[in-house]
A and B are shown apart, each in its own frame.
Chain A
Amino acid sequence: MRYAETGFNLEIDLSRGNIEKEQTDPRLTELHLGGLGTNAKILWDRVPPEVEPFSPDNLLIFSTGLLCGTPAVGANRTIVSTVSPQTLLMGYSMMGGFWAPELKFAGYDKVILRGKSPKLVYLWINNDKVEIRDASHLQGKGAVETTELIKRELKEPKAQVAAIGLAGENRVYMASIEQGRSSASRLGIGAVMGDKRLKAIAVRGTKDINLARPAEFIELCNEVLQYIKAREEHPVPGVMPILAGLGSPQEMRIVDEEWHTTNFMWGNARTRRRDFWNQEVEEKWREIQENVRTRLISCYNCPMKCGAIISVPGISTYMMKCFSKLTYTMAAYSDLDFGFKIAQRATEYGVDGFSTPQVMAFALELYEAGILTDKDMPGIPSDNEGRFYWLLDRIVRREGIGDVLANGTYWAAKKIGKGAEEYAHNNIKKHEQLPLKLGMLNPVYFLMYCTGEKANITQIEGQFPQSPFPTMEEREEFVKDWIQVPDEKFKQYLLKWELRGEYGNPHYPDVQASCYIVDWQEKMHYIDDALGICAGLSSFPLKPPYHIHNYPTIISAATGMDIDEAGLTEITKRNRNLLRAFNVRRGLRRADEKPPEDHWKKRYPELEEELLDAYYQFKGWNNQGIPTKETLDGLGLDYVRGDFEQRGIYNGGKKKRPGTKQASQKSKKAKAEN
């Protein structure tokens, strides 16, 4: 019997309409756990670097994590992996909600999609019955709308549906996959789904997921629950309210947004408004938020309530979580009320709430600068909010200038030329970043921004405070019950870390300490992404219930494999290096690993080189960021080493850059109503 996992994947060839159920090799679970780990393995094996994102040979993998479907609290992540049309590297995005456990209960660990359907279809997985169904009647429909329509036509209110909207159908690089309460938004994976002409996947499952050592496992789950309870009663003092507790930043529950609104940039990641927040704003925003928020809601088997049902009078109800509350508001220099309204349309279209507002703000800057003119923007409204709606409608339809903008700021700027590149100033690896512009270089964040494989800071940071506590008293208080640290030295780093001076940024944490801190933060994300545990209960918040000391026993009790901390660390390293190897093979090198030029005002080129050198070495990579032969062999990845050698990658060889064509994709445009 297989424990925690089902031991089966669904292999779907959309070109031929072929469906196979395939047993998986249990050895792969031992080597990679599951989720992102096994996704990376499949992508490495089956998607060579020549494959372009919109090729039928590109795979789109919907994976559960290893613990999804067990009673492990917060084990609900769906990990979607493919080649990103935007970065041309591996795109992996995750969503919470209910889809992954349902897939487990239907009897599968992953759905692996290849090929391209000749017409728009959706997949219906009902336990052993799996069918590809016509979706022509769903063309142009919103993502939330599609979900409701599919559940109704299947007469299955309990089915879980992941769907794309118009943006995905039109292969917009910011297209997301929406699943009611949650979405997998980053890196354009919705565009790949649309390219495969797959509108949605509906799942319903009524089978068992087994545990190897049930009594022990439940005992551990109870401890996690108890810890969550205690932690909720004791928010971390001295940090902003939305980050003091567990879960994703609690922006649906909490109104106080002083931190985001006065520290993050408005517009096209441009303007800091230090004095924006005041009592008047707080009162107004409280009223707005409380008026539209009907209920706080959770993902499967999690008490954190990071999401909310949002009902703005006059428009359809939708669900929201986290920072998308503010991204549109701040990009448009507008009000919270506008943010809640436009997010409804954006959710139906199925677009990433991080990148999309930035792309629109970028376009408006170009317009003001005269780089885009009335010829490019015929009929654009005169007010800012109207302009955002106008742009959004055109981007998701790839209409006029929208066709250019739909590829994100990096590719759009290249296409527009005339100095537009200067305005695409907030990217890493061609991907839009959080709108943050700061003063003093932070060495830990420098490394994370450079090397994070997902090109998204929230997917690598966490656990270690973002800035030092001002007083020794606060620091001592913080480290007192900091059981999550891998070892004592991390407490020392925090105790020593000062606001400024010798022990402040950029020289402290020093180079070595920075390597350790980044490695720990990143490691926890890799574990979560393999297990399908929400980062909000583990790698992201301060003092989470899951950590490196209890994870090995939890995994062992669930699966029956005997894993200790060292073993878990090794698996994580293997997964991490495999992901890097996939991207190296697609051309990723040191030159790509840099934060936006203006991310910090005070930069230290020499120190930055030193940091990157040291971190690469720490990771077992050469000075180009390529895993060395010894590193790969040591992790049992000798097949990767062999491939690298054959391709001459160690000899500075062949930096292949596939898919740089930026042809208009209008031909694929789906017609749609509003």
Chain B
Amino acid sequence: MKKVKVIKIDADKCNGCRACEAICSAFHAAPKYSSTNPERSKIRVLFDPLKDIYIPVMAGEYTEAECNGRDIYTIDGKEYDECSFCRASCPSRNLFKDPDSGLPLKCDMCEEEPPLEEPMCVQWCLSDALTYEEREEEGEEEEKPGEMEIGLESLVKKHGMKKVLDTVAQMANKS
């Protein structure tokens, strides 16, 4: 059996406060909580108040290449920006990338030992736009890559394994 973790997003309840962004970035800072920077957050609220558009989106997989096309949704008469609901950290847009290194960001459900009762964004969303659910499903628990692995993988994809190894070796020499 594997555990499936779900953050349910009720966009109608979102008030655009971005508390989720603030606390996510603080939680993932090293040392924990030592700094805040919504740009490093793995959840972003895309909002356009004058169009009444508020969508919290959690960072998903990193993709090397952009899609072949882009989507624009209209729901209830409101036209959403290109790729609004997409979770990918992708070359076509400036979302879910660390502002300094450019490395992709990915939501890890605030995994830690001992496990939190709920991910931090859910805890800090007092409007109940974000709620948390866990359930069991058939299948194998899959090994999840850590933050460093995700970052390295994207570097390898971009520059090739050799370049990355060489750079690491150089850095090791320097220090």
Contacts and interface: CB of A to CB of B under 8 A. Distances in A.
Contact of A319 (B23, B49, B124, B127): B49
B128 to A, nearest CB: 10
A282 interface: no
Contact of A206 (B50, B51, B52, B99): B99
Interface string B12-35: 000111110011001001011111
Contacts of B124: 225
Interface in B29-45: 29, 31-40
Given A208-B35, A211-B33, A303-B126, A298 B15 contact: yes
Nearest to A222: B123
Interface string B32-76: 111111111000000011111010000000000000000000000
A319 B99 CA distance: 30
A180 interface: yes
Interface in A312-328: 316-319
A311 B51 CA distance: 10
A303 B35 contact: no
A71 B50 contact: no
Nearest to A181: B49
Interface stretch (A43-51, A117-125, A289-297, A642-650): A289-297
B15 A218 contact: no
B33 A217 contact: yes
Interface in A584-611: none
A207 B37 contact: yes
Nearest to A217: B33
Contacts of B33: 71, 211, 214-215, 217-218
A298 B50 contact: no
B37 A208 contact: yes
B50 A225 contact: no
A33 interface: no
Contact of A73 (B15, B19, B29, B34): B19
Contacts of A303: 15, 17, 19, 125-127
B38 to A, nearest CB: 7
A71 B22 contact: yes
A214 B34 CA distance: 5
B15 A211 contact: no
A71 to B, nearest CB: 5
Nearest to B16: A297
Contact of A211 (B23, B34, B51, B52): B34
Given A71-B22, A214-B32, A305-B127, A298 B17 contact: yes
Contacts of A294: 52
A302 B127 CA distance: 10
A229 B15 CA distance: 16
A228 interface: yes
Given A295-B52, A303-B126, A309-B52, A208 B19 contact: no
Residue among B23, B31, B37 with the most chain A CB within 10 A?
B37
Interface in A272-290: none
A476 interface: no
Residue among A180, A208, A211, A311 with the most chain B CB within 10 A?
A208
Contacts of B51: 317
A73 B19 CA distance: 8
Interface residues on A, range: 35 or more
Contacts of A318: 50
B105 to A, nearest CB: 12
B23 to A, nearest CB: 6
Interface in B126-152: 126-127
B54 A215 contact: no
B48 A157 contact: yes
Contacts of B40: 208
B19 to A, nearest CB: 5
Contacts of B39: 105, 205-206
A207 B22 CA distance: 12
A214 B31 contact: yes
A209 B37 contact: yes
Given A181-B49, A294-B52, A297-B49, A209 B19 contact: no
Contact of B23 (A71, A209, A316): A71
B55 to A, nearest CB: 13
Contacts of A319: 49
Contact of A218 (B19, B26, B37): B26
Interface string A196-211: 0000000001111111
A70 interface: yes
Interface in A135-174: 144, 148, 157
A203 B31 CA distance: 28
Given A180-B49, A301-B22, A317-B50, A209 B35 contact: yes
A69 interface: yes
Given A144-B50, A300-B17, A71 B32 contact: no
A311 B17 CA distance: 20
Contact of A148 (B36, B50, B54, B126): B50
A228 B22 CA distance: 18
A204 B31 CA distance: 25
Given A206-B37, A209-B36, A225-B124, A305 B52 contact: no
B16 A298 contact: yes
Nearest to A144: B50
Contacts of A208: 29, 35-37, 40
A298 B127 CA distance: 10
A228 B125 CA distance: 12
Contacts of A192: none
Residue among A214, A225, A316 with the most chain B CB within 10 A?
A214
B49 A300 contact: no
Contacts of B81: 157
A180 B50 CA distance: 9
A46 B163 CA distance: 55
Interface string A5-19: 000000000000000
Nearest to B46: A157
A66 B19 CA distance: 18
B29 to A, nearest CB: 8
Residue among B19, B39, B40 with the most chain A CB within 10 A?
B19
A301 B19 contact: yes
A70 B29 CA distance: 13
Contacts of A311: 52
Interface of A: 69-71, 73, 98, 105, 144, 148, 157, 180-181, 205-211, 214-215, 217-218, 225, 228-229, 232, 294-303, 305, 309, 311, 316-319
Given A71-B36, A206-B37, A303-B127, 6 more contacts: A211-B26, A228-B126, A299-B17, A303-B15, A309-B49, A317-B50
* 6 smallest beta-carbon distances between A and B, as pairs: A214-B33, A303-B126, A206-B99, A298-B17, A208-B35, A206-B39
18 contacts: A69-B36, A71-B33, A71-B36, A73-B19, A157-B81, A206-B99, A208-B36, A209-B36, A210-B35, A211-B33, A214-B26, A228-B126, A294-B52, A298-B15, A302-B19, A303-B125, A317-B52, A319-B49
